Amino acid sequence: MKNGPIYVLLADDDEDDRLFFKDVFDELKINTVVNMVNDGEELMKYLSRNDHTLPHMLFLDLNMPFKTGLECLTEIKKMDHLKEMAIAIYSTSASEKEIEETFVNGANIYIKKPSDFGTLKKILADVITINWQYQTSGLNRDNFLLSI
């Protein structure tokens, strides 16, 4: 991460959310490459290709057609070449059940989509700059849900 851009991938079926996401990274002064997929199927296809750099960080929406975020999460965690990739759940809702399930299945952090652009910007900046390689060892349930 010292050299070169941070590769970020967003999997979200909502066009508006993708727009906000893109706007945030356009405004942030961080060297990032943002790619986007529209649903779970597309995500899995994208991750299985080997003709491009794999993302360092995946932002995963839970409510998606064809393949839900949770299904994608469990599949990704079974793939050896994706083990290094940090996964942030990026969802509208944050029910106890969803938080529990995604935590158990190995997501790194749970972001509830905020309703303010400024807040969103701050969250994404914070999340992207965490050194995940270092952070994963200290993972625990209490700081799993990101609260800003």
Partner 1 sequence: MISKLNRMRLMAITANHIFLRSIFAASLFILIFISGITYRNTVSLTDSMEWVVQSYKFQTEVEQLFSLLKDAENSQRGFLIAGDSAFLEKYFESHKSVVKSFAKLDSLQTGNPQQQKNLKFLNQLIDLRLQQYDLSLKYGSDLFLNQEELTANMRKGSEITNLIDKQIDKIIDLESSNLKERQEKYEFKSFFVPWFTLFIMLFSLFVFVLAYVKINSDLEEQKRSNKKLLISTESMKHAEAIGEFFITQWDLKTNRYIFSDNLYRLLGCEPQSFKATAENFLKFVHPDDIHIVSNGTESTRQSSMVFPRTYRIIRKDGGVRYLKSMGKIITDSKGNLTHVSVAKDITQFQLSNMALEKRNQELLQSISELESFNHVASHDLQEPLRKIQTFISRISEKDQLIMDENSKEYFARIQASVSRMRTLIDDLLLYSRTTKTDKEFERTDLNLLLENTLQELSQQIEEKNAVIHTENLPALRVIPFQIQQLFYNLISNSLKYSKPGLAPIIKIECRKIETHENPELFSDSGKEYYKISVSDNGLGFEQEYANKVFELFNRLHIKGDYPGTGIGLSICKKIAENHSGVITAKSKPNEGAAFSVFLPD
Told to check if 100 binds partner 1 by CB under 8 A, we report no
Cβ-count burial of 115 within 10 angstroms (0-12 exposed, 13-18 middle, 19+ buried)?
exposed
Specify the stretch interacting with partner 1 by CB under 8 A; choose among 82-90, 100-108, 111-119, 123-131: 111-119
Is 95 an interacting residue with respect to partner 1 (CB under 8 A)?
yes
Check: CB of residue 76 under 8 Å from CB of residue 82: yes
Instruction: Rule CB under 8 A: say whether 26 interacts with partner 1.
Output: no
Window contacting partner 1 (CB under 8 A); options: 11-19, 44-52, 79-87, 122-130:
11-19
* CB of 24 or CB of 72, closer to partner 1: 24
**For residue 77, what are the CA distances in angstroms to 2, 67, 84, 121?**
25, 15, 10, 28
Do the beta carbons of residue 90 and residue 98 sit within 8 Å?
A: no
Candidate ranges 33-41, 50-58, 89-97, 124-132; the one touching partner 1 (CB under 8 A): 89-97
20 binds partner 1 (CB under 8 A): yes
Single-letter amino acid code for the residue at 10 = L
Give the number of residues in contact with partner 1, rule: CB under 8 A. Answer: 16
Contact 73, 119 (CB under 8 A): no
Crossing angle of helices 96-104/69-78, nearest 10°? 10
* Residue 92 DSSP code: S
Task: Examine residue 18 and tell whether it contacts partner 1 (CB under 8 A).
Answer: no
13 binds partner 1 (CB under 8 A): no
Residues contributing to the site for partner 1 (CB under 8 A)? 14, 16-17, 20, 23, 63, 92-93, 95, 113-118, 120
